[in-house]
Structure 1
Amino acid sequence: MEPVSLASVCFALLSCVFVQLSSAGDCPADGRTWVPFRERCYHFVHGEEDRIKSYTFQRAKTFCQGFELVTIQSAEENDFILKYSPEVWKGNINVWLGMYYDTDSDEMKWFGEQPLSYTNWERGTTPPELIPVDTCAALHSDSGRWGNVSCLEEVENGVICEAAENAEEQGKQKPSVLLSVIVILSVVAIMGVSAVIWFLHEKRSPGAAMFTAFEYHPPFRAADADRSCLVEAEETEDMP
């Protein structure tokens, strides 16, 4: 292996590790448009703007195809949805939230059994106002707040799906930076040892091209030169 190839292979390995690690924060690659925000991904369901949109709660859930309706855990997330919605929809939008009334605990919960650590109800609203088993919630874009709606009878015109980054890779082990570095160093060490062995092998090989150029050839031999001088002197004395 030539010395230049060692650097090339190391560079290729580093590039592969960088690509692998940098892809760890990607949103689902399922053909839909996902918008990232704080380690979460959001898909704003949209269609033809000249058609009146009306989605029941169950219909809204089917649009997410394996993911959940949006759950809002902070004021920053609530503001993000409000600011991005005009990029997708025109006019006022009421977005279904992934929330339901839990009859066991008598309180509203997010899907996934997450408690409501953050709420943004319409002023004067004390949920639930409707029959508990029929209570869901929607985000109103005009006010930025949430309201109670019927899960069975109401229709809304906004659907947002939410997923964690790398949702398609959940359950798989994430790449380890330390492990990747150890692998690279091991490969570099092995290739370095291989280069040394190759160097020593070429050095010991008879007639190796890289060493024949450095063979020592003395310009003269002292003994032969002295003998030549004596012969030349004798010939000169014998001349008339």
Structure 2
Amino acid sequence: MELRRLKKHLCKLVCRPVLHCSLNCPADGRTWVPFGGRCYYFVHGEEDTIKSYTFERAKTLCQGFELLTIQSAEENDFVIKYSPAVWKNNVNVWLGMYYDTNSDDMRWFGEQPVGFSNWEDIFSSSDLVPLDTCVALHSNTGKWENVSCLEQAENGVVCETNQKAEEAKQKPSALLSALVILSVMAIMGVSAVIWFLQHKYKVGSTFLTAFEYHPPFRVLDTDRSCLVEAEETDSVP
């Protein structure tokens, strides 16, 4: 209980007041910020000393998590408003988007279609080769721009993942609770009866000897002696 309180206290110190702090984000030592069922890590500190990342380097910094994907205007605004708390100057953030040659359209990693977009100028860099087309978000305007995946280097990286859903604890029904209680009481009652009988009727008592097995047509020793004497008497001349 004390450990959980300490976690909540530390979380309040790290998270901004406008955000709801969550303990369901990855516990990998980095500061993840929850928003709308997702967790976000704004790359900073030692890993942000160069502040110049190729697209491949940006994906590596996320350490197996996704690059930033934006599915709504609210999510786009969240990234813009939180960026100044991490970076002093304006940055261009890599988005986890690529050009899909099968559909001839942009898609998010994870194969989600691009439902929401906020282009600065509609496909401003249309001269890019499709396979070399990536997207960057400008933190000062919130607008998106097509950039080269191979030749461009941006100075902002945001990683993203789903919050871990807590398993719902099902409350037992009243009927189930009653059945469990009755079962326990029945077991205790039977155990008490057995214990009572074991202590009242010990080995050698009338209760146990009453169930001794006597084979049928048993001839007692006294009867045998009488028969022997009778035979001897009859055999005398």
Q: Larger deviation: 154-163 or 99-108?
A: 99-108
Instruction: Say which of 123, 134, 147 aligns to 1:149.
Output: 147
Tell me the equivalent position of 1:39.
Answer: 37
C-alpha distance in 2 between matches for 1:131 and 1:87 = 35
C-alpha distance in 1 between matches for 2:85 and 2:119 = 24
What amino acid is the match of 2:180? I
| 8 A Cα contact 2:99 2:107, kept in partner | yes
Tell me the equivalent position of 1:75.
Answer: 73
What amino acid is the match of 1:86? P
Q: Name the larger-Rg structure.
A: 2
TM-score normalized with structure 1 length: 0.62
Unaligned runs of 5+ in 1: 1-23, 207-240
C-alpha distance in 2 between matches for 1:147 and 1:39 = 26
| Structure 1 position 143, deviation (Å) | 1.2
TM-score normalized with structure 2 length: 0.63
Q: Deviations over 1:20-58 (max 9, x none)?
A: xxxx98122222221111111111111259944111100
What amino acid is the match of 1:64? C
Q: Larger deviation: 114-123 or 30-39?
A: 30-39
SS in 2 for 1:115: coil
| 8 A Cα contact 2:124 2:145, kept in partner | no
Q: Deviations over 1:163-198 (max 9, x none)?
A: 1112xx8xxxx74544x535x974664245424664
What amino acid is the match of 2:84? P
What amino acid is the match of 1:109? R
Q: Are 1:181 and 2:172 matched, yes or no?
A: yes
* 1:36-185 map, 5 Å: 36-48=34-46, 51-123=49-121, 125-126=123-124, 128-166=126-164, 175=167, 177-178=169-170, 181=172
In 2 relative to 1, CA 32–51 (structure 1 residues): closer, same or farther, beyond 3 Å? closer
Which one has a larger percent helix, Structure 1 or Structure 2? 1
Could you say which structure has the greater relative contact order, defined with CA pairs below 8 angstroms and 6 or more residues apart?
1
When the two structures are aligned, how many residues end up with a matched partner?
175
Q: Determine what percentage of the aligned residue pairs are the same residue.
A: 58
